[in-house]
Chains A and B, each alone.
Chain A
Amino acid sequence: MAPVIELDGLGVTLGGRKILEELKCSLSGRAIGLLGPNGAGKSTLINTLLGFYPPAAGTARVLGCDIRAEMKQIRALAGYMPESECFIAHLTAVSFVRLMAELSGLPSDAALERAHEALFYVGLGEARYRLLGTYSLGMKQLAKLAQAIAHGPRLLILDEPTNGLDPPARQRMIRLIREMRDTRDLHILLCSHLLRDVEETCEEVLILKDGHQVHYANLEEERKANRRFLELETVGGDGAFAEAVERLDCECAATGRRLKMVLGQDFAIRDLYRLAEEHGVQIRRLNYRRDSLEDIFLKAMENHNGRP
């Protein structure tokens, strides 16, 4: 798949301070997560990709267009939902989204139609004739999403889209992002410090810290490669069960009736049940888990902290 975003030694300096340094990677997923703690440089990277900040070193390409030379093309291809609360208070939602679509080049009639569609799509259909200034925070977030998709971008850039949303509104936003990702009409770049948001929507993730790239991961592959754990609580049998379990593809530590196991690639749970039956052991509790994005993130943060 052709890269969506290519960072080629990108560095950004603002107000005499280096905010981003030597970012180098190629991202081609349908939904790309940009993760990092607050102040890591995520929003700066987005703002640089949109031409709001000039690169101090290196360059980047968005959908094949260079940020130094082809900014207008990039902006024509992208839709942007900013992090901060931004709107035009004296306009109704439908006028606001229509204005934004017209600025992206849609003729007035088409822009009006797309504005209605986008507002219905994000769930503001019934409130589309209300002034934006009267909207709640959650509604403003949805209106921002509507203006970002009204012109049909090929890359949708979402900067902290779930900020300030209550759990149902957050769920709705995540569902919309997933739906758009699955339409295959556009790519999504999601910037967030909330691991769950990224984990639930993205295929690829770039982790930043202090302006440095600390980890790049294809989440699906990373999940496959990560360790799986099993915790067992058993009744009956003797030490032979633990010894037999160790002969399966896993590392095992037994403490009384409890077993903790780190599973290998070829381990199958049904073998465990088979052994339990053979040794007359009852399995009372079985907890299964695998490395989450949180583990990946924490590992990346630890590695970065250990860096000279």
Chain B
Amino acid sequence: MAVHKRSYHAYAGDLTPRWSRFLVVSRYACQNALSSKNLVAYFALCFVYPLGCALALYANHNPRLLALFNTSSFFDPGAKLFFHFLRIQGTLGFVLTAFVGPGLVSPDLANNALPLYLCRPFSKAEYVMGKIFVLLALLSLITWVPGETLFLIQCSLAGASWLATNFWMISSIFLGSAVEILVFSLLALALSAWIKRRRAAGAALLGVFFFGAGFGQAINAVLRTTNGSLIDLAKLIARVEDQLFRQHTSVGISAADAWVALVAISAFCLLLLQKKVKAYEVVRG
């Protein structure tokens, strides 16, 4: 059994570098998130589709299997494959965000824990970075990391000529994932900071997407415009990904407008976080 000193004494040991301290918050938040068996099960489920894709790519280049079905290929492993891969993983990522995101900041606010974080050599920005890093890491693991891995598998199977033709997709997979990850994470964190109840924050995250989509459709129908799509987050992300993967688009707004709208939404989320993440609220009057 460990024997601990029972008197007060100062600490004289080494300190960790300041830049790395936000990772402490991430580590604890991640431990807390992954303490839920349901979440771990869902997280594992998110890897089923990438594994299926990897198997499909292997099958698509297996001469014995192709000969068995008497075909030269089962599918075209081009931009469309990675585009759909990102759409599906993005949807799974959104649900994962709805699981994890609301529990990041709201419990700290509900328990008035922010003064304890911020009375240390630890800034608001580091606190937000620490919290958002959990989402960035988890979402990365199910979006661009498997996406790029699939790309590498396809390269290794198809050869240098395929790589030369599709080299541009490396950045598309990463950028498309990054857009999804950043928008989901910032939105989840902002809602988590403004809504103290975890479940309410999760519901609000779903609400922002579905109400935004419904409201945008209503605006489009009533005003006979396409600008209603600017408040439809799913369409904005879809429009950006259409452009990144050089796909035909059915969304009636330009890619530039979609980029601007997404940047504005992200900036608004940061503003909401800036307003709410503070040690103490000042009551005006």
Q: Find A14's partner among B15, B119, B121, B282 (CB 8 Å cutoff).
A: B282
Segment among B91-99, B108-116, B170-178, B239-247 that sits at the interface with chain A? B108-116
Q: Which of B4-12, B54-62, B230-238 contacts A (4 or more CB under 8 A)?
A: B4-12
Q: Indicate if the CB atoms of B107 and A102 lie closer than 8 Å.
A: no
**Residues on the B chain within 8 Å of A183, using CB:** 7-9
Q: Are A103 and B24 in contact (CB under 8 A)?
A: yes
Chain B residue at minimal CB-CB distance from A133: B111
A-side contacts of B118, CB under 8 Å = 52
B6–A121 contact, CB under 8 A?
yes
Interface size on A, residues (CB 8 A): 50
Query: Which of A104-112, A225-233, A266-274 has 4 or more CB atoms under 8 Å from chain B?
Result: A104-112
* B contact residues around A120 at 8 Å (CB): 4-6
Q: Scan B260-285; emit 1 where CB is below 8 A from any A CB, else 0.
A: 00000000000000000011101111
Q: Which of B15, B28, B279 contacts A52 (CB 8 A)?
A: B279
Stretch in A22-30, A144-152, A207-215, A284-292 touching the partner: A144-152
Would A82 and B121 count as touching, CB distance under 8 A? Answer: no
Contacts of B112 in A (CB 8 A): 82, 84-86
CB distance from B165 to the nearest CB of A (A): 48
| B128 in the interface (beta carbon within 8 A) | no
Pick the residue among B12, B25, B121, B280 that contacts A76 (CB under 8 A): B121
Question: Out of B16, B32, B115, which one reaches A90, CB within 8 Å?
Answer: B32
Q: Is A201 an interface residue (CB 8 A)?
A: no
Closest B residue by C-beta to A176: B8
Nearest CB of A to B38, in Å: 16
Residues of chain B lying within 8 A (CB to CB) of residue A80? 115-116, 119
Determine if B209 is an interface residue (Cβ-Cβ < 8 Å).
no
Within 8 Å CB of B285, what residues of A? 15-17
A103 to B24, CA, bound (A): 7
Q: Verify if A246 is at the interface (C-beta below 8 Å from B).
A: no
CB closest residue in chain B, given A14: B282
User: Which residue on B lies nearest to A47, using beta carbons?
Assistant: B280
Residue B215, interface by CB 8 Å: no
Interface flag for B2 (CB, 8 Å): yes
Q: How far is the CB of A74 from chain B (nearest CB, A)?
A: 9
Contact A52 B115 (CB under 8 A): yes
B168 part of interface (Cβ distance < 8 Å) = no
Write the A72-104 contact mask toward B (1 if CB under 8 angstroms, else 0): 110110101010111111110001000110111
A50 within 8 A of B: yes
Task: Check B13 for interface membership: any CB of A closer than 8 A.
Answer: yes
Return chain A residues, CB-CB under 8 Å to B113: 86-88
**Complex Cα distance A86/B117, Å?**
11
List B contacts of A21 (CB < 8 A).
Answer: none
Interface positions, chain A 113-161, Cβ under 8 Å from B, are 113-114, 116-117, 120-121, 125, 147, 149, 151-152, 154
Q: Is A102 within 8 A of B279, CB to CB?
A: no
**B122 contacts A by Cβ under 8 Å:** yes
Contact A103 B117 (CB under 8 A): yes
B-side contacts of A149, CB under 8 Å: 8
**Smallest beta-carbon distance B30→chain A, Å:** 13
Establish whether residues B107 and A117, one from each chain, have CB atoms under 8 Å apart when the complex forms: no
Contact status B119-A15, CB under 8 Å: no
Residue B18 CB within 8 A of the other chain:
yes
Distance in Å from the Cβ of B151 to the closest Cβ of chain A? 36
Q: Contact between A104 and B4 (Cβ–Cβ < 8 Å)? A: no
- Cross-chain contact A99 with B24 (CB below 8 angstroms): yes
Bound state CA distance, A73 and B283, in angstroms?
Answer: 28
The docked-state distance in angstroms from the alpha carbon of A121 to that of B9 is 10
Closest to B17 in A: A105
Please state if B14 and A107 are interface contacts (CB–CB under 8 Å): yes
Asked whether A105 lies within 8 Å of B121 as measured between CB atoms, the reply is yes
Min CB–CB distance B197 → chain A (angstroms): 13
- The contact of B119 among A78, A90, A106, A180, by CB within 8 Å, is A78
A180's partner among B5, B8, B18, B115 (CB-CB below 8 A) is B8
> Does B120 belong to the interface (CB within 8 Å)?
yes
In angstroms, Cα B107 to Cα A84, docked, is: 15
Q: Is B21 an interface residue (CB 8 A)?
A: yes
* Interface status of A294 (Cβ within 8 A of chain B): no
Residues 144-190 of A at the B interface (beta carbon under 8 Å): 147, 149, 151-152, 154, 179-180, 183, 185-186
Chain A nearest Cβ from B212, distance in angstroms: 31
Using known A-B contacts A106-B13, A106-B15, A179-B8, determine if residue A16 contacts B284 with beta carbons closer than 8 Å.
yes
Neighbouring A residues of B284 by C-beta, 8 Å = 15-16
What residues make up the interface of B, taking CB atoms closer than 8 Å to A?
2, 4-16, 18, 21, 24-25, 28, 32, 107-108, 111-122, 278-280, 282-285
Sorted nearest first, the 10 A-B pairs with minimum C-beta distance are: A152-B11, A105-B15, A15-B284, A86-B112, A80-B119, A152-B10, A52-B279, A76-B121, A102-B24, A185-B10
Can you list 21 A-B contacts (CB < 8 A)? A15-B282, A16-B285, A17-B285, A52-B118, A73-B121, A75-B121, A80-B115, A80-B119, A85-B112, A86-B114, A86-B115, A89-B111, A95-B28, A100-B120, A103-B24, A104-B120, A106-B15, A107-B16, A120-B6, A125-B4, A151-B11
Known A-B contacts: A76-B121, A86-B114, A151-B11. Give 7 more (CB < 8 A): A86-B112, A102-B21, A103-B25, A110-B14, A120-B5, A183-B9, A186-B8
